[in-house]
Amino acid sequence: MTALAAAPAGARLWLLAVRPGTLSLSVVPVLAATALAWAEAGRIDGLAALVAMLSALLIQAGTNLHNDAADCLRGNDGAERLGPLRVTAQGWASPARVINASRVAFGLAAALGVWLAWVGGWPILALGAASIIAGWAYSGGPNPIAHTPLGEVFVVAFFGLGATCGTTWLHLGALTPASAVLGLALGLQAAAVLAVNNIRDVETDRRAGRRTLAVLLGRPGADRLFAALVLAPLGLLAVLATLIPNGWRLALAALVLPEALRLIRTLSRLPPGPHHNILLKQTARMEVAFAVLIVAGLVFLK
């Protein structure tokens, strides 16, 4: 057994199980929407923002844990798997143990959501409940979202629009057009991360009867989808700039364009395989850079 495949224990086991490389996807929309609320109205609720970030992290962690166990139980993570190692498939933790951990994560998120609902009212309660249900449904039930063409839609809805609009509501008690545009931009980039994952697994998914967008579009179409997902948010910057004071400051986020073009070129040259795991992490990091540059433009250049 190699050092990489050696069984981890304790905190390291659970760190691997929650997939830390992509947890930023749940944090950056809350951070960016908080900066947007400050730019639009000059006020934010710092405690609500911190609790919302933690709740979003817990929901994503719960989703990833449930996905780990559910895929193992369905026999999806066999020897031909190209993605990173999964703790249940490797026998490092039983499916029941990992599912229980997902329940703990969802339960903690729900507990934080009660306080957030007290701050933001029933819309926050509805959004939190929908997020937890969708997190379970991503891999659970007779027809998991992850096995359908709706995976990218799920990501845009909950890692983009839901996160930014919910955060704006917490700060301002209202929705703004800018928060929706920001959410769409960040959600599309987050969906690009899932697109890389599905392109990597396109052959195994096809053989298993899964109908992801990558399977339906084929490799050329899936590559074009990825390009659209990483480039469209840069175009949305121009729309967002018209909706806030001194919107020209958001041009700072266009600095990620060279990296976006590099990722598109790299993906087009790669056959499906484990090297996509590196590209997946790089795509997630690009979204972080995009969001941080938006925050910098909204806050530090005001």
* Domains of the chain in sequence order: 17-299 (1.10.600)
pLDDT digits 0-9 by tens, 165-190? 999 999 999 999 999 999 999 999 99
Q: What pLDDT sits at residue 136?
A: 92
Whether the model pTM is above 0.85: yes
pLDDT digits 0-9 by tens, 117-154? 999 999 999 999 999 999 999 988 888 998 999 999 99
The b-or-e profile of 70-87 (16+ CB within 10 A means b, else e) is bbbeeebbeeeebbeebb
Question: Mean pLDDT across the stretch 194-201?
Answer: 92
Give the DSSP letter string of 230-295: HHHHHHHHHHHHTTSTTGGGGGGGGGGHHHHHHHHHHHHHPPSSTTHHHHHHHHHHHHHHHHHHHH
12 confidence band (pLDDT: 50, 70, 90): confident
High-pLDDT (> 70) share of the chain, %: 94
Give the DSSP letter string of 60-105: HHHHHHHHHHHHHHTT-S-TT--SS--TTTTTSS-HHHHHHHHHHH
92 confidence band (pLDDT: 50, 70, 90): confident
Distance CA 44, CA 288 (A): 21
- DSSP 8-state code for residue 43: -
Mean pLDDT of the chain: 90
pLDDT digits 0-9 by tens, 24-68? 999 999 999 999 999 999 889 999 999 999 999 999 999 999 988
pLDDT digits 0-9 by tens, 224-264? 999 999 999 999 999 999 999 888 999 999 999 999 999 99
- Biggest CA-to-CA distance, the chain: 58
